[in-house]
Amino acid sequence: MNTRGENGPILVLGGTGHYGRHIIRSLLQKGQSVRVLSRNAANARQVLGDGAEIVEGDITSRKSVVEALKGTKAVVISVSAFTPRLIRRLRLIERDSVLMVLEEAHKAGISRVVYISVYDIREDLIARLHSDIARIKLDIETTLRESGFNWTVLGAAPSMEIFFAMIRRSIMMVPGGGPPALPTVSPVDVGEIAAQTVLRDDLGGKRIRMTGPEAISFQEAARRISEITGRRVRYRSIPLIPLKIVSMVTYPLNPFLRHLVGMIELMNSFPPDVVTEVPQDHQWLVNTFSYTPTTLEMEARARIRV
Ligand SMILES: NC(=O)c1ccc[n+]([C@@H]2O[C@H](COP(=O)([O-])OP(=O)(O)OC[C@H]3O[C@@H](n4cnc5c(N)ncnc54)[C@H](OP(=O)(O)O)[C@@H]3O)[C@@H](O)[C@H]2O)c1
């Protein structure tokens, strides 16, 4: 049965998340109706306000997925299990359930799918660092490429939040020191680009890297945040090896730590040749989408106001 709704809502999976909530906001601002599948409707309502339709359910349940897809015209997948509580179900949530969503979307006659992935995926890095998360993203991207969907993959750079999250008592503590330069993006820009992408019909079959205007080091980020906020933030590199040993000893008691260390290693190994492409990736975004890019300075200023 074809249950596709040409005028129906867009379903955002992970719509209450760090990136998802901005995707919802941008879609609503454009007058587009949206639906969110969330495990906790009351929390989703608090996060998203009144604009979005909320279906309470779990992506691991086929029944919930079928209900959420009913009458929708497109799907944005921005779901993540990268939390201490969910990490044991990482593969189930981010891979197996997303594949099930694609299966059910196909049955429902929905063709437009936008998938939020990571900025860049390197087979050699995945193999060297045994990154389950990157492997899962690659599996989904490969499935989309080989499918008949009208798909777009949006490869998100790490959120700019990463610079602020590492500050404790005016010290930016960076395990392993961080790479010489890292592209980051504001969640606001992710929301806007993803919303425009899912509403456009000329971006099918494309993998787009979403980044802010430049790639910078953690030292440089600390310097700029100090300048804007007027409060000195000192950068400090902390060794990764002790954290790695603890993560190995405490696994499987605390599998999250091992995944976290894996993510930090991926970040510290950020490929320099990809960094050199950041200005042109960003220019492409500016030429292709209608938005005002958010800079680190703008993010820092917004935090002073709060
Ligand atoms: N954050 C970053 O810096 C970053 C960087 C690069 C790429 N990405 C990618 O961007 C995407 C979104 O990441 P994020 O950081 O925005 O995630 P997040 O803040 O951790 O949010 C996770 C979302 O997944 C939903 N979710 C988790 N388990 C679920 C389940 N069983 N059923 C239904 N929904 C479930 C949660 O919804 P409820 O809690 O409402 O159920 C929540 O909305 C991911 O693909 C991530 O890999 C993120």
Candidate from 66, 78, 80, 114 with most ligand 1 atoms within 8 A of CB, to mutate: 80
User: CB of 144 within 8 A of CB of 115?
Assistant: yes
User: CB of 134 within 8 A of CB of 266?
Assistant: yes
Mean pLDDT of the chain: 95
Pocket of ligand 1 (CB under 6 A): 14-20, 37-40, 44, 58-60, 78-83, 86, 93, 116, 118, 156, 158-159
Domain 10-158+185-212+272-293 grouped into CATH 3.40.50.1240:
no
Q: Which whole number is the average pLDDT over 247-260? A: 91
The secondary structure of 149-171 as a DSSP string is SEEEEEEEPPBTHHHHHTEETTE
Q: What is the pLDDT of residues 133-190, one digit of tens each?
A: 999 999 999 999 999 999 999 999 999 999 999 999 999 999 999 999 999 999 999 9
DSSP 179: -
Domains of the chain, residue spans: 10-158+185-212+272-293
DSSP 231: S
pLDDT band at 306 (very low <50, low <70, confident <90, very high): low
pLDDT above 90 coverage of the chain, percent: 91
Q: Output the CA 80–ligand 1 centroid distance in Å.
A: 3
Q: What is the pLDDT of residues 184-225, one digit of tens each?
A: 999 999 999 999 999 999 999 999 999 999 999 999 999 999
For the cut 70, the answer to whether the pLDDT of residue 27 exceeds it is yes
Instruction: Report whether the peptide linkage leading into residue 293 is cis, meaning its omega lies within 30 degrees of zero.
Output: no
Q: What is the pLDDT of residues 45-61, one digit of tens each?
A: 999 999 999 999 999 99
